[in-house]
């Protein structure tokens, strides 16, 4: 089943001689439960693509269809709901709220959505992520690897259709990187969670089922490496 399709995505920034074409006619389709790596040189448009998939940055042209609905046809209020419910974003620098503890950071998207936190899901995630005993810690009382686990928990709390990760291990040593990738793969497998990761790390890209390579805002290669 198709969970995500993009059609002819284009994104330009600036105007006139300062205009940059960050994405130039990008199209692809992703099946539910797939694990896709996006690779390419710095400045090739990877983060722009991920932000557009996540409802954070609007395309100049083209369509994003997530779970059957046209993301950018929605009004701003529904787009905000889409961001909270349908996608889970994970960044290189975690983006946790410094004054909130582990549990508060993880449950923030659910509370902002005026929904009830599922204690069962929260407990399961805290335990899967190895955060037991750290529930009341603030981000600055945690290691980088632990902070990234919290941001994964926050991304998974709403059981989003797609998890989007932008260099999630870019700030971590190799042991912590492996642990984080293991957790993301585990959620991909256990919850049939669709996972799209931007990475510079070939070892991570090779663990995906499919690798999409981007250069100058265009897809230059799209390979299925395992079924």
**CA 189 – CA 172 distance, rounded (Å):** 23
Q: How many CB atoms lie within 10 A of CB 178?
A: 15
Pick between residue 47 and residue 194 the one whose CB is nearest to ligand ADP: 47
Site string for ligand ADP, 13-42 (x = CB under 6 A): xx-----x-x-----------------x-x
Pick between residue 21 and residue 85 the one whose CB is nearest to ligand ADP: 21
45-84: which residues touch ligand ADP (CB under 6 A)? 45-48
**CA 174 – CA 124 distance, rounded (Å):** 26
Pick between residue 81 and residue 220 the one whose CB is nearest to ligand ADP: 220
Q: How many CB atoms lie within 10 A of CB 130?
A: 13
> What percent of the chain is helix, strand and coil (3-state, nearest 5)?
35, 30, 35
Pick between residue 42 and residue 132 the one whose CB is nearest to ligand ADP: 42
* Closest approach of ligand ADP to the CB of residue 18, in Å: 8
Q: Is 103 helix (H, G, I), strand (E, B) or coil?
A: helix
Give the N- to C-terminal CA distance of the chain in Å, as an integer: 14
Find the binder of ligand ADP among 2, 29, 43, 111 (CB under 6 A). 43
Residues forming the site for ligand ADP (CB under 6 A): 13-14, 20, 22, 40, 42-48
């Amino acid at each position: 089943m198709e969970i995500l399709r993009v059609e002819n995505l284009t994104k330009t920034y600036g105007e006139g001689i300062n205009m940059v074409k960050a994405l130039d006619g990008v199209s692809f389709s992703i099946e539910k439960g797939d694990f896709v790596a996006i690779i390419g040189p710095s400045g090739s448009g990877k983060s722009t693509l991920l932000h557009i998939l996540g409802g954070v940055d609007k395309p100049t042209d083209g369509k994003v269809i997530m779970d059957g609905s046209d993301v950018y046809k929605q009004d701003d209020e529904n787009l905000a709901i889409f961001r909270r419910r349908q996608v889970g974003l994970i960044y290189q620098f975690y983006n946790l709220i410094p004054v909130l503890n582990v549990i508060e950071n993880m449950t923030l998207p659910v509370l902002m959505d005026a929904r009830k936190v599922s204690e069962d899901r929260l407990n399961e995630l805290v335990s899967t992520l190895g955060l037991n005993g750290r529930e009341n810690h603030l981000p600055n009382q945690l290691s980088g690897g632990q902070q990234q686990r919290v941001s994964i928990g926050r991304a998974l709390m709403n059981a989003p259709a797609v998890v989007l990760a932008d260099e999630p291990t870019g700030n971590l040593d190799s042991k912590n990187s492996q642990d984080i990738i293991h957790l993301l793969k585990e959620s991909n497998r256990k919850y049939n969670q669709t996972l799209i990761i931007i990475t510079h790390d070939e070892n991570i890209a090779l663990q995906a089922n499919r690798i999409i390579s981007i250069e100058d805002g265009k897809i230059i290669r799209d390979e299925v490496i395992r079924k």
